[in-house]
Chain A
């Protein structure tokens, strides 16, 4: 029984959701049937005081079952399903007797939608409990009445942030926002309060079913609302570049629904839902941010074996990366020894950590005691002997082979027995870095992204000799610091740095061809990348980009190969050698960086890279930037750089911000259609160069009708 039915002496029926075989309640076919049965039964009760909806799980109701959702193949099915479930919710809220949602745990998505169909909502006052409608983050809209009811409950403007940004709040915040009505101390208090509320009344109606109901804030005909609605789509567009259909659909469903009666609004919502649920972007986002992310966290790329927890972390270097790594480690409960060359520089790193903690404190995300506790877990030192007992040491010194070799030997001596040594590098092959190590089996690469506290990905690099234990240790450590690990095999640039380079170099190539620099930057942003390619090159530093290219060329030559020329290389070289503009850190790159004001494209750029008579359409530039990255991802796959599609997709989005709505580099190809992609790549190759030539493996997959 997915829903237990229990009637007490006061004629109050408690429906307790308890989906068998699942750790959380979700809305699936079984749940839907149980809900319908319970509703049929309760409406036949001759003596009924009211209804309580409760949960036997830790969560109240976690939402719709995404397995079921992705199986929706036609808009008709999606529409009918949505309408069917909503008809039951509508029945529940209009049957006359008071209904209370007893929210004991997370009420997200369909869970909150069910609660919204109750007349009264009480939640346990625990900040860990989250209430919200996260559908938009998966490219969907709350199609269980969430749009229709939130708009009627809160008004258009107030509802927008919950609906369009997927904002999740604690019960306290939900109470002050007006989403729930009361707080309870614990489960017993929750049920007691629910029963008390029912006993106070004989019947109940939703506010929107009362005669004389007025929408909070006013409906769209009111001038203030009208003005807000005139600018709201532009505000959205500024953020999304029109790449995300879900927030647009939500806004439209909300606005259109606000001008009609409840049932019509609900049907409008279902129609938008059906379009989104069967659309490509939702498929991309659900696949990446739900199924693939979950599979990564479940350890698909982790060698099987016991947990390899980390107790004490050593961090070599207290600079930008070093103190970031120390911070996230201490925050996750590990003891940390942060070593730098001098005690002063080590302490400077610790001071920066204190600042990060103070920020959390001032935002109310942390108590003073907790802040002190975390800070006290970090020892800042210049003495390598303090590393004694560390079971994981991560070096985060400059990208210099000799320096890395030196600190490796020095620190390894202090590792605990069977400890693991990790090198944080973005480009240097791990196998080479492991050479000075006394125990290369326990040597692994951990590529962090900057700023460490904000970036969600860590790329774990497996050297030629890296053993399974070191991999497990690295994997479990990354999960422990609440980041997402992907596992890649050793090669120059690994996966993320290597493919990312193809994005920025494509931007540079377009500049060489005489495309307007502003249009190039726009194309990058319109493609869904977080920053334009030229601005990114400035941030990475053009000198560094040139250095990496030179190093790569040498490595290729050492293997008897030639590094294929990329037309972007020459642009970077001219910027560095001819114009002496290295990037943002120097205040001059493709952009000027005025001390007081926003960066602006260097006015002379167009003199040195004159505009071509014919400018490419934005769409062509967008495709070049995306195709370049996707094709290089396929080459990485061919070379065994990564072994799972999930790692490739999630790595691209979390690592360098590849267009999230596309679901990642390989999913972009799936969505484009492999046959079409191959044909288009061949056309791009004939126009712009070899780098667009589709690899043989991709052509073969396309011919066989396969996908990633």
Chain B
């Protein structure tokens, strides 16, 4: 029998707008991590860092400030024992959750006992696409893979599912209002303010949230993907989906995930290691699953990944108390709900999601897990499922259960 993997803690930074005028643009990604490493250590009885078998961090654009294995760099820079290894991983938008799942797998294998998972992305410092990649910039590859940007896929999902501009905007309004309510009620309890080298607070709240968002204000925004669609990507998608007459571009900056800076960490280990260090297990990781899906539409992974995870855990969709579905685009969440047969919106993204809070690519998955765990405890519920759509046509899901 493999030993269970437990979550001892899950913390995150606030999310700053991912632009030059964003609050965290002045903070290097390594410093975002340094802050969190420090707090994780402090919050957990200043455990002996030499006990950590590995640090697994997601980062989607691992060049420049984020290059050269930022996981190992961060562990060293945070002053942890040099005995602690580190690895940076990239599963696109799923990287943060993938890090948690890999940590759980390491622990369940019996070969490791305490692993720090998480992720980081300073999208203002290292813009998306800075790492190049054959998928995007090598013509023969993008041709062979029928690659289109995710926004085209999001709009295609909406066309296929019959979602209107109002449908996706309405969803975005809900996300904003929920996030604003959660923030003002102080429900983001595991959010650690970012401080400068003097201890002065640089950012203590999620900067991307707009509490005053209305259907009218969103309706005024221009579609983000109409021009690139017209230039050629619609043609690529339509050649793959020949029954679709026309792609109506309905996703805008207002109903897509926000571009932000941020980081997150999750401490994962065995029950025995927890006891040894005096740490309290907060949740068990019940299942983790990945799937590949049709790459041109790219964003349809959450439902099949969730079904796979549920099957692994021997659970049904009704056994899940809360869902965190990454709001890459509004249509992704709406499609997920339809595919999973979930009608109760009070179980889904109850504190808002990436449309309001932003999606720091490498960190988001770990952030969602922490948000779900905090909310389970607040409501005294038991199970949560976290899922994200992933670039290249993948899906990821993780199920946690409180202990």
Question: Which A residues fall within an 8 A CB radius of B?
Answer: 220-221, 223, 226-227, 229-238, 241-242, 248-249, 251-252, 255-256, 516, 518-519, 522-523, 526, 600-601, 615, 618
Chain B residue at minimal CB-CB distance from A611? B243
Q: Is A601 touching B143 in the complex (CB atoms < 8 A)?
A: no
Q: How many residues of B contact A (CB 8 A)?
A: 28
A234 touches B148 (CB 8 A): yes
- Stretch touching chain A among B225-233, B286-294, B349-357, B391-399: B225-233
Q: Which of B17-53 contact A (CB under 8 A)?
A: none
Q: Are B231 and A235 in contact (CB under 8 A)?
A: yes
* B138 lies within 8 A of chain A by Cβ: yes
Q: Nearest chain A CB to B155's CB is how many angstroms away?
A: 14
- Is B79 engaged at the interface, CB distance under 8 Å to the other chain? no
Contacts of A229 in B (CB 8 A): 136-137, 139
CB of B99, distance to nearest CB on chain A (Å): 27
Q: Are B238 and A252 in contact (CB under 8 A)?
A: no
Shortest B171–chain A CB gap in Å is 27
Please tell me if the beta carbons of B129 and A226 are within 8 angstroms of each other in the complex. Answer: yes
Docked pose: A248 CA to B147 CA in angstroms? 14
Alpha-carbon separation in the docked complex, A522 to B246 (Å): 12
Q: Does B242 count as interface, using CB distance less than 8 angstroms?
A: yes
A618 CA to B246 CA, complexed, in Å: 18
Q: Cβ of B235 and Cβ of A601 under 8 Å apart?
A: no
B195 shortest CB reach to chain A, Å:
32
A522 near B231 with CB under 8 A, answer no
- B140 at the A/B interface (Cβ < 8 Å)? yes
Q: Is the CB of B242 within 8 A of A226?
A: no
Inter-chain contacts of B231 with A (CB < 8 A): 231, 234-235, 238
Q: Are B139 and A248 in contact (CB under 8 A)?
A: yes
Q: A226-B129, A519-B242 are in contact. Are A220 and B236 (CB under 8 A)?
A: no
Using CB atoms and an 8 Å cutoff, list the residues of chain B in contact with chain A: 127, 129-130, 132, 136-140, 142-143, 147-149, 228, 231-236, 238-239, 242-246
Q: Tell whether, in the assembled complex, residue A221 and residue B132 are in contact, meaning their CB atoms are under 8 Å apart.
A: yes
Tell me which of A226, A241, A249 contacts B239 (CB under 8 A): A241
Most chain A CB neighbours (cut-off 10 Å) among B142, B147, B243: B243
User: How far, in whole Å, are A223 and B129 apart by their CA atoms in the complex?
Assistant: 9
List chain A residues, Cβ under 8 A from B143.
233, 236-237, 242, 248
Return A607 CB to nearest CB of chain B, in Å.
16
A234 x B239 contact (CB < 8 A): no
Which chain A positions have C-beta within 8 A of B137?
A: 220, 226, 229-230, 255
The 6 closest A-B pairs by CB, nearest first: A234-B232, A522-B242, A238-B235, A235-B232, A252-B140, A238-B232
Q: What are 20 of the A-B contact pairs (CB < 8 Å)?
A: A221-B132, A226-B132, A227-B129, A230-B136, A230-B142, A231-B228, A231-B232, A231-B233, A234-B228, A234-B231, A234-B232, A235-B231, A236-B139, A238-B231, A242-B239, A248-B143, A252-B138, A518-B243, A518-B244, A615-B243
**Contacts beyond the supplied A233-B139, A236-B139, A238-B235: 11 A-B pairs with Cβ under 8 Å:** A229-B139, A231-B233, A236-B232, A237-B235, A241-B239, A252-B139, A255-B139, A516-B242, A518-B242, A600-B246, A615-B243
Q: A226-B129, A522-B239, A526-B239 are in contact. Are A601 and B245 (CB under 8 A)?
A: yes
A387 to B329, CA, bound (A): 70
Contact A234 B236 (CB under 8 A): yes
The chain A residue with its CB closest to the CB of B230 is A238
Q: Are A618 and B242 in contact (CB under 8 A)?
A: yes
Enumerate chain B residues within 8 angstroms of A234, measured Cβ to Cβ.
142, 148, 228, 231-233, 235-236
Expressed in whole angstroms, the Cα–Cα distance for A2 and B234 within the complex equals 52
B236 touches A238 (CB 8 A): yes
Tell me, in angstroms, the Cα distance from A519 to B245 when the chains sit together.
Answer: 9
> Given contacts A233-B143, A234-B233, are A523 and B242 in contact (CB under 8 A)?
yes
A606 to chain B minimum Cβ distance, whole angstroms, is 10
